[in-house]
Structures are given as structure tokens and as C-alpha cells.
Structure 1
């Protein structure tokens, strides 16, 4: 399964993926489906497991770079301060990042106050409505393109969306369905609108400036991790609900 490389070819490609000699993987703690902190404060999750598996395959030491937002992940990889990251596939981010195929799919949902007149997702895009999103998140990028009338208001990060929403006179909060469900359990007087407004394809990516061989190896790695059951097992091990292995 996958690309079979000689030891010398693997070493060469590894050096093209990670030119510093250590695989620098940026981990976005702002997406709890992919990563979070354990009791000791260390990053754990599906993305961490994949980073560890890739470093092992490349026979390189691993350096994890935890950040709190997707925007920071994009910045570090685009500026080549990290070698790989874990992102929602988006054409804006694709200007500086070469993506693999998706490894998981995640749902995006809307949250409103209990007394809101809004009942469905298609009622959100109205000129009177202000929608809170995490700055630079996949939802920010998607809704920037898709909402024609509602006004977007950007919270500093995705995990802060609900607290930001509750602190102001806003109409809707948008984000990862599981994050919103989690926040709703500890926030009185809110509810999620039924269904989803988008499905997010989560992929790995590396700087577009890296070689074709580097991109091909990372793409094959993701395909192998899906086909082998590694991704499904990681989702189960970390008790992740609502995300599925991408087709």
C-alpha cells in the first residue's frame, strides 16, 4: 500500500518535507474534534496521532507547535515556520498551502438564543442579522463567500465564539457543531438550529513551495491512514462524535 521508496529516496523526500531535520507540525487546539490539551496540558487528538505517524514514517523527530486558531496554523505553514498542518480545505488558504485529500469531515452549525425567532438555517442570511464566527476559521471563510445580507462579526478564536456571542447583542453564532453543542450545555438560554449549514473537509497540508515529491508523499500518507483504518481508530480512541472518515 502506498508509495514504496528506497531508503535514500525516503530520506531525500523527508528532507524536502522537513528541511530543518525535525518535522514541525502545527496543531490547532481551537478545533476540539482534532486536538485538545490533556490533563498535563499536552496536545492530544487525531491530528497529533497523524503527526506522530508521519514523523515515524519519515524517520524524523517530531516538533509539535500548538496554536489556538486555524488562522495561526495557516500563517505558520504559509510562512514556512511549520512543515505540516491540519486544515479545513479552502480556496483562500490554498493560495499558500498544498492540501491532501480530506481525512475527516466535520459539520458546521448555527446557535441562537432560546427566544430567537430563527427556526432554520435558511433564515439566517437576512440584513438584520449579525453572525459571530471565529476569525480566520473555515466558517469565517465559507460564510464570507456565502452570506449575501447578514453581517459577520469575528470573535478572536473559534472556542470564544459562544462567550463572545453571549456578551453582545448578536443574532447567531456559527462554528463546529460539536463545539457549539458542548458550549450550549454550559450556557443557559441557547439552542442549535437543526441540521448543518456546511460540511467541512479536513485535510493535511504543507507549504506550496515544497517539492512535488513532498506533496505526493503527504497525499499518499493520508490515503493510507484512511484506508488502513488508522483515522477511524483515532476518532474512536479520542471519543470524537460527529466527525466521520472522509470518503
Structure 2
């Protein structure tokens, strides 16, 4: 009996000491159709499918770690997640604290305006007292702070709040990425207008901790292979058919290519 008990305790200790090999992917699940929840509350979207494919390629179980966008980089730096896949722009500012993979999407900053706005470009928003809504922690916020010093800027935790400011006339513009501006205009066609041609080009990449060069190399190999195999095209057809058609009709290169 004692031998059986000792054997059980040894097995239990071995199991407890076994390292979890899950690929922990940080993302904010409030950004459809890239990172979101389906009707059953499960993670879904382009970024989620990308994370699933990456984990499969690496031979590791996937663990989605949802959190607010502003917490993603701190979680990566502290080791609470292994990578970030959350439509994150690979900016020079962020590169100071984390590394990025090769780009997996190509986008840019665009503008959501009030329906009656006369603005035709970003230059029309450079006057005194122009009211700009931005999402906190985004490159839109950083760009506005650096380039629109005369603007009255208000930051919000989520995009719908920014859109509401414009739709209800409390802000003159919302600066955000191209596809989001397209989507929010479609949801509010009677109160907003969109300038979809990006005035700043950006790209999205997988966030990786500094010093994890082996993991970075593995992610880059995966992205190249996934693109070559048509993976991004399939995701575009699954989640972004209308957006792809609209941008192509405008002569704007599509984000996933």
C-alpha cells in the first residue's frame, strides 16, 4: 500500500512539474472581424484563425489570453503571453520595447467624419480647435499627438465610443485604421462619412518578446509559408469579402495579401 501511495505521489509531482507547452497568444477580442467572439462566446476572426494556424505549425496547443489592448505589450514583456496577435501596428515606438515578426497585413490610418463635414483630407483637420477622437494606446493616438498639435484630442478605451462622438457631433473626426473606418461608416451611414484612402501607411505583425530570436524566426517562416499557401486569401474570403471588394474598386491594395 505504501509503495502504491509513493508511486502515486511521484506521478502527481511529475505531472505538476511538467511545463505547459501551450502557445499563449494575447489579443483583444473586441475588434471584428479580426479578433472577436462568436455567438457562443468563443474566440473568432482573422487573428484567431492565424493564431490557430501558427500554434498548429509550431506543434503547440493554443491558449488565447484575452485582455484590453493597452495591456498586451506589458503582458508580453512580463512573460504572461508568448506572442501578441491583435491587429497591432509594428511601430518604431513599440519596437523599442518588443520585437515584431514580418508583416502579415498592410493597412494605414484613415478618417471617420461627421456626415456634413467639409474635410477632404487630413490637412483639413490641422486648424485650431478641431476635435479629434482617438482610441487610447493606438498609433492613431500617437500620430495625432505628434502631428495635430492644435487639435482638441479626447481618448477613449474602445472604438464605439469614438464613433459615437463623431456620429453625435461631439468630435469632428476619428482617426483609426482603414478597415475599421470602413466598417463604422457602414454601420452609421446617416451620420458619418469616411475618407478611406490611408494618409499614413502601416503594417500589422506578431508581437514577440525581445531576445526570443528562435521564436521570431519560427513565426517568420510560418507567415511566409501561410502566405505562399494562400492562407491570407482564404481568410479574406471568409471574413472580409465586402471590404475587399470596396477597396479594390477604389484602387486601394487590400490589407491581406
- Tell me which interval the TM-score lies in, with the shorter structure as reference length: 0.7 to 0.9
Q: SS of the counterpart of 1:119?
A: coil
Aligned residue in 1 for 2:72: 73
Residues 192 and 239 from structure 1, CA distance in 2 versus in 1: closer, same or farther, beyond 3 angstroms?
closer
Q: Are 2:26 and 2:72, in contact at CA under 8 Å, matched by a contact in 1? A: yes
SS for the counterpart of 2:103 is: strand
Q: How far did 1:37 drift?
A: 1.6
- The 1-side partners of 2:51 and 2:205 are apart by 12
| Contiguous gaps of at least 5 residues in structure 2 | 1-18, 245-253
Instruction: Count how many residue pairs are aligned between Structure 1 and Structure 2.
Output: 226
> Which stretch of the first structure deviates more once superposed, 141-150 or 131-140?
141-150
The residue number in structure 1 matching 2:183 is 182
Give a deviation string over 1:68-106, Cα, whole Å, max 9, x none: 43x232232232211111221111211221101111112
Which secondary structure does the structure 2 equivalent of 1:152 belong to?
Answer: strand
| CA RMSD of superposed structures (Å) | 2.2
* Structure number with larger C-alpha Rg: 2
CA contact (8 A) 2:167 2:191 kept: no
C-alpha contact (below 8 Å) 1:33/1:178 kept by paired residues: no
Name the one with the larger strand percent: 1
Report which stretch shifted further, 149-158 or 80-89. 149-158
Aligned counterpart in structure 2 of residue 202 of structure 1, from 185, 204, 210: 204
Q: What does residue range 1-247 of structure 1 map to in structure 2 within 5 Å?
A: 20-69=20-69, 71-86=70-85, 87-166=88-167, 169-187=170-188, 188-193=190-195, 195-210=197-212, 212-239=213-240, 241-242=243-244, 243-246=254-257
Partners in 2 of 1:226 and 1:151 — Cα distance? 41
**Distance change in 2, residues 1:32/1:22 (3 Å):** same
Segment of structure 1 superposing worse, 48-57 or 106-115: 106-115
Displacement of 1:166 in angstroms is 4.1
Bigger relative contact order, structure 1 or 2 (CA pairs below 8 A, ≥6 apart): 1
In structure 1, list runs of 5 or more residues that go unmatched. 1-18
Distance of 1:237 and 1:97 partners within structure 2: 31
**Structure richer in helix, relative to its length:** 2
Q: CA deviation at 1:20?
A: 4.3
| TM-score of the two chains, using structure 2 as the length reference | 0.78
